[in-house]
Structure 1
Amino acid sequence: MTSTGSARTQDIPAAGSPLPNGHPAETQPSPAPVIPPPAPSFSVSATREVLVAALGFLEPRTLEAHSARDFCIWGLDGLTAIDPTLSVTETHPAPPTPLASAPSTAVAAEKASDASAQSPSVLTVLQGQTVIFSQPVPPADSNGAWAELVTAAMQAAWKQSSTLRDAGPDALLQGFFDELFNHLDPYSRYLAPAPALSDRTRRSGDTGTVGLTLGQSGRKIVIAAVNANGPAWEAGVDTGEHLVSVNGRTTHGQDAATVQSWLEGDNHTSITLGISSRGHRTTTVRLERTQVPPETVFASSDGPFTLLRVASFSTQTAEEVSQFLDQVVDDPTQTAPSTTSPGKKAAGIIIDLRGDRGGVLQQAVTTAALLLDHGVAVTTHGRNPLANHIWAVQGGDMTNGTPVVILVDGRTASAAEILASALADHRRAVVIGSETLGKGLVQVIGQMPNRGELFVTWSRNQAPLGWPIQGLGVMPQICTSLGTDSLQAQLAALREGHTLQGEAIQMARAARYPVPVAKILEIRKHCPAAIGSDSDMEAARALLSSPAAYRAALESVPDENSAPLH
């Protein structure tokens, strides 16, 4: 808001003279000068090292072949993204115009044109209309020369643009890779050193703990959860027990957050816990702290059925699933009253993958191996020979053929889609829900000299029956996103031994890479992607309660003999 009127100045009394209230003014010491931190500088050598490493990592791994020239021309647009007054152009020398009436001149012009064609084009950086950098470009596949050229162009722009200097040197590399990857796919990306460190810490952790989550009951500390990946789980510590002491220090009267911090420390250091449960004396448990991956699998009961919710696929997800499946098979209250197969068989298992954005591919394959006797879980295909892999499983179904239902929705992606498609294609599980996200691309991680990281898409996932997951997603055997009436009709048909989703399932399984976008949309409209709802669980209970419907849903997916060849 702007005020109008005459400005007034306030007289400031000199030091020692009386103030308006009659008190003398105090003499204040002069404040110490504020020294601003040094402005970040552009490091030519560090930038060049990162670019050389990045170009060397990208060239053999991207799904489609591209040259160092392609990567660098794309990436230099990052300068414009930061400072719109900058622009980057590559100009090709134009041949001279020949004189048509003079044959000798035409011959000379042709020679000049040939010489011009052999002359390199020129990379130019402008600020407005002013040229601030211009240099001939090197051969398209010369990684080192292109890294030198980009570094020199960035340095010239850095000197001229205060906007770039305000953004900082990290922003130049971030902008370069952001623009480069805009030309590839949505999943390739660059993480600068700081976020890359945070991401590595999230993936593996850097402090030790014992895998307990604490709560509070009055003035007592209660064990609220035990991470199945931690040493406390292995030692038999259980939820509901009271944590009385940590290394001899009483927890009475402390808050849960404070005691939680006591549990953390350096890896492989010992910690002694005093634990008591109602009606029992305090026992002492000695544990060794370790890096505990985040818990990703959460089990509960739904009537006679076991529900396993898988939030993501971390380095220990398959082990967590294995532990819970052991409990399911060993628990007589969760076992079907009769079975013709040897060993105990549970009444049914519901694996909830709704909202699961994926994670470690190998963990999805290992989880599938817990439920399959043998077979291919997924194949990966890329330009780099190391990206081509057949992920086969063998060993045996640890649940003795227990009926399995998998819940998916429009947010189910990546490794979660691999698990769902593997079990469905082998007729080992029925998938219920809506079309999944359709992320069937795999990234490989490259460590850069500055401790940043490149995530580069280098392979495509193909389901056991040969169809690509990318774009298509997983077509459920029972679709819940078409409304209640449709769902009830589907379940009624399955109880009669046939399916209403058969055409959609056949279309999806018959697709082969590359699938046109129009074809993908045509397939996916048969079960539009949606957020999971209560109807998913209701359909799962209904299906598991009807052996005939469950069998018909399994058989709606073509078997290996009737499916099209890969």
Structure 2
Amino acid sequence: MLAAPLAPLAALAQAETGFSRSLTRVVLREAFEAIIDRHLEVAAPEELALWSLRGLGAVDTSLSADVQGGLLRLHLGAGLLAEAPLPSSALSAQTRPGAAAHGAAEQLADTLAQLYAQAWASSPPLRRAGMERVIQAGFDEVFNHLDPYSRYITAEEAWNARQRRVGQSGLGLRVASGPRGSVVVAALEAEGEARRAGLREGDTLLAIDGIPVSARRITQAAELLEGPPDTPVRLSLRRGGQRLNVVLRRPSEVLRSLRAEVLDGILWARISVFSAVTTEQLSEALNNAFAAPVPPRGVVLDLRGNRGGILAQAMGVADAFLGGGMVAQSAGRHPEAQRIWEAGGTDLARGRPVVVLVDGRTASAAEIVAAALGDRGRAVVVGSATLGKGLIQIVVPLPNGAEVLISWSRVLAPLGWPVQGLGVIPALCTSLGLEAAQQALQQLGQGVSPMQPVLSRARRARAPVPASEVVALRAACPPAEERDLDQQAARALIDSPAAYRTALSP
């Protein structure tokens, strides 16, 4: 139970103006249920409770929290403000599916909502900061202990993010999370295709091309809305008690994420980001190049500076060079986090040598492509160690309009090593300078791969990789920004079949 409040009840009620305990409780419950059930790593409910309460100290430094005798205690300065029993450790099993996660989250939310209300009533800095900032501070401290990419996004930030990631198809509509996990039409452009077709703000979007959509998978809605130019998309909607089906047509002009040209018999293809049409653009470039009277003798896939994008498009790009087999896999505690991506197409490069250029800014989906083609022995990776972002996040909308992004799975390369932290280590390193790169090319031509010991060690790594091992492996080819030497090295490998074959060996 809470300790006797330091402020009279009347003062407490007055001070709580602007603070909704019920809304705070439901926000905490839904967020913690997702964290407990789906986060990549197990976090005990009692730890989550303590971290959340300590987060309030970022807004009011006189507030602090600790645990003593099975009680979660909130302090104001040197005095005890309130205390409550810790959430039951019985709900701290390694796997907390379904009902167990819900029960733990209910306890957490009940306890923390009461303590947050007490802190709000007793702390002028919290009241000046506002309810949204208070909730954010609690989650910021929680995610500080979990991983670098999970985070709480305020309602305003969530709205702006949805504008960036949802409805960028040129259809003239914006969608957002709606009541009870729905997806609604949030805004329409005055002269846009959607308004001309009769859509209205507030319409509930049920399905896109027959695929149901929900707020929990709002990024999937973004991918479904986007698509090849000048193609139709069918929307299923609900307006009050009426169901509607509307067909819109995507605009004929889209931003190209690929620059491709053939120079001196080599197809140079640079992908800046994985957009909804990247796979289509790359496939077109490969088909056109290899249909020419004199096809390219090799392909350079330039992923330097590419920070990622749509995961499905990255898988499609890797598939364009593979005739079958694994592209990547993901692993996590939740059953739905376990997944294997398989290539199912045809090698559009027709077996010609492929070099993948990477640098220290190559990240996420771009790393997955480089790892897949390197592990499968389909391409030689050239450049420097990449960023090492190999966690997949899900977006969980919250009742206050905010969102939590939760890392729920890690990406594993075909040979089983984790991209997170380790990154992709090139078979030919350019970040050590011109002389070292020239020496490495000479050794490759003689049948010796100077990076082979490091690559073999990296491919044996399994998550979680100790920090000391990550540092040691990445030091062999430190991250660096792109340089002209990268292209020179790629050309030299394609011009030297012996060196290419040696570097290709997985």
- On whether the aligned pair clears a TM of 0.5, the verdict is yes
Structure 1 CA distance for aligned equivalents of residues 291 and 166 of structure 2:
32
Answering whether residue 192 of structure 2 is matched by residue 265 of structure 1, we say: yes
Equivalent residue, structure 2, for 1:66: 43
Alignment of 1:298-377 (within 5 A): 298-332=259-293, 335-336=294-295, 346-377=296-327
Query: Would you say the 8 A contact 2:45–2:87 is kept in 1?
Result: no
Shift of residue 514 of structure 1?
3.4
Q: For 1:379-408, what per-residue CA distance to the aligned partner results, in whole angstroms no more than 9, with x for missing partners?
A: 211111211112111222122123211100
Q: Where does residue 185 of structure 1 map in the other structure? A: 147
| Residues 1:423 and 2:373 are matched in the alignment | yes
- Pairwise CA distance, 1:326: 2.7
Partner in structure 2 of residue 465 of structure 1: 415
- CA distance 1:128–1:266, shift in 2 (3 Å): farther
Deviation of 1:361 after TM superposition, in Å, equals 2.7
Matches of 2:419 and 2:38, distance apart in 1: 20
Whose helix proportion is higher, 1 or 2? 2
User: How far off is 1:474 after superposition?
Assistant: 1.2
Count residues with an aligned counterpart.
414
Distance 1:477 1:40, change over 3 A: farther
Match of 2:192, as an amino acid?
G
What is the Cα deviation at residue 207 of structure 1? 7.3
Establish whether residue 516 from structure 1 lines up as the match of residue 466 from structure 2. Answer: yes
SS of residue paired to 1:446: strand
2: CA distance between counterparts of 1:425 and 1:419? 10
Q: 1:447 maps to what in 2?
A: 397
SS at match of 1:60: helix
1:301-353: CA deviation from partner (whole Å, max 9, x where unpaired): 44332222222223433233223223322344xx44xxxxxxxxx22221111
Please tell me whether the aligned partners of residues 379 and 390 of structure 1 are also in contact (alpha carbons under 8 angstroms): yes
The one of 50, 53, 57 equivalent to 1:80 is 57
Residues 490 and 269 (structure 1), Cα distance of their counterparts in 2 relative to 1, 3 Å cut: farther
Q: Which amino acid aligns with 1:126?
A: H
Give, in angstroms, the shift of residue 53 of structure 1: 0.6
**Residue 504 of structure 1: aligned partner:** 454
Larger radius of gyration: 1
TM-score by length of 1: 0.68
The answer to whether 1:197 aligns with 2:159 is yes
Partner of 1:44: 21
Distance 2:112 2:359 in 1: 44
Structure 2: distance between partners of 1:55 and 1:293 = 39
CA distance in 2, matches of 1:167, 1:90: 26
Conserved? CA contact 1:268–1:289, under 8 Å: no
Is the 2:39–2:407 Cα contact (8 Å) retained in structure 1? yes
Tell me by how many angstroms 1:434 deviates: 0.7
Residue 88 of structure 2: aligned partner: 139
Deviation at 1:521, TM superposition (A): 2.1
Inter-partner Cα distance in structure 2 for 1:500 and 1:286: 49
Percent identity reads: 41
Counterpart position of 1:525:
475
Paired with 2:412 and 2:460, the residues of 1 have a C-alpha distance of 12
CA contact (8 A) 2:36 2:105 kept: no
Q: Is the 8 A contact 1:207 1:265 kept in 2?
A: no
Q: Which amino acid aligns with 1:172?
A: V
The alignment status of 1:537 with 2:487, answered yes or no, reads yes
Q: Aligned equivalents of 2:395 and 2:260: distance in 1?
A: 32
Could you state the TM-score of these two structures normalised by the residue count of structure 2? 0.76
Comparing 56-65 with 171-180, greater Cα deviation is found at 56-65
1:257-302 CA distance string (max 9 Å, x none): xxxxx996243748xxxxxxxxxxxxxx999764887643233444
Corresponding letter in the other structure for 1:537 = Q
* Structure 2 counterparts to residues 478-493 of structure 1, below 5 A: 478-493=428-443
Partner residue, 2:133: 171
Q: Which is further off, 543-552 or 166-175?
A: 543-552
> Is contact 2:427–2:451 with CA below 8 Å preserved after alignment?
yes
SS of equivalent residue, structure 1 residue 476: coil
Q: Does the residue aligned with 2:274 lie in a helix, a strand or coil?
A: coil
1:263 and 1:131 map into 2 onto residues whose CA distance is: 57
- 1:293·1:315 contact (CA, 8 Å) conserved in 2? no
Distance 2:23 2:444 in 1: 63
1:160 aligns with 2:122: yes
Q: Which amino acid aligns with 2:54?
A: D
Q: How far apart in 2 are the matches of 1:294 and 1:87?
A: 50
Superposition deviation, residue 372 in structure 1: 0.1
Q: Displacement of 1:516 after TM fit?
A: 2.2
Structure 1 residues 73-119: Cα deviation after superposition (integer angstroms, max 9, x where no partner): 11111110111011122221xxxxxxxxxxxxxxxxxxxxxxxxxxx
Amino acid at match of 2:319: A
Match of 1:53 in 2: 30
Alpha-carbon distance between aligned partners in 1 of 2:307 and 2:454, rounded to the nearest angstrom: 24
Q: Distance in 2 between matches of 1:496 and 1:511?
A: 28
Structure 1 residues 398-421: Cα deviation after superposition (integer angstroms, max 9, x where no partner): 221232111001121221111001
Q: Would the aligned equivalents of 2:262 and 2:289 in 1 still touch at CA under 8 Å?
A: no
Q: Which residue does 2:335 correspond to in 1?
A: 385
| Cα distance in 2 between the residues matched to 1:89 and 1:168 | 24
Further displaced range: 376-385 or 297-306: 297-306
Contact residue 152 and residue 403 of structure 2 kept, 8 A:
yes
**In the alignment, is the contact (CA less than 8 A) between 1:207 and 1:266 conserved in 2?**
no
Summarize deviations over 1:4-43 as a string: whole Å, max 9, x none: xxxxxxxxxxxxxxxxxxxxxxxxxxxxxxxxxxx98112
Tell whether the 8 Å contact from 2:49 to 2:86 is kept in structure 1 after alignment: no
Structure 1 residues 404 and 268: alpha-carbon distance in aligned structure 2, compared to 1, 3 A threshold = farther
Alignment equivalent of 1:414, drawn from 351, 361, 364: 364
Write the distance in 2 (CA, Å) between the matches of 1:308 and 1:264.
36
Q: Which amino acid aligns with 1:531?
A: E
The two structures, once aligned, show a CA RMSD in angstroms of 2.6
The DSSP-based 3-state class of the residue aligned with 1:410 is coil
Q: Read off the aligned partner of 1:134 and give its amino acid letter.
A: E
The 3 A distance-change label for structure 1 pair 286 and 202 is closer
Which residue pairs with 2:202 in the alignment? Answer: none
Letter of the structure 1 residue corresponding to residue 264 of structure 2? G
Distance (whole Å) between structure 1 residues aligned to residue 68 and residue 54 of structure 2:
15
Deviations 1:164-217 (A, max 9, x none): 12211111111111100111110111111111122122112367369xxxxxxx
Residue 148 (1) aligns with residue 110 (2): yes
Matched with 2:78 is 129
Deviations 1:414-458 (A, max 9, x none): 211110011111111111001112222222221222232211112
The separation in 1 between residues aligned to 2:195 and 2:269, in whole angstroms, is: 31
Cα distance in 1, alignment partners of residues 308 and 463 from structure 2: 22
Task: Describe how 1:19-38 pairs up with structure 2 within 5 A.
Answer: none
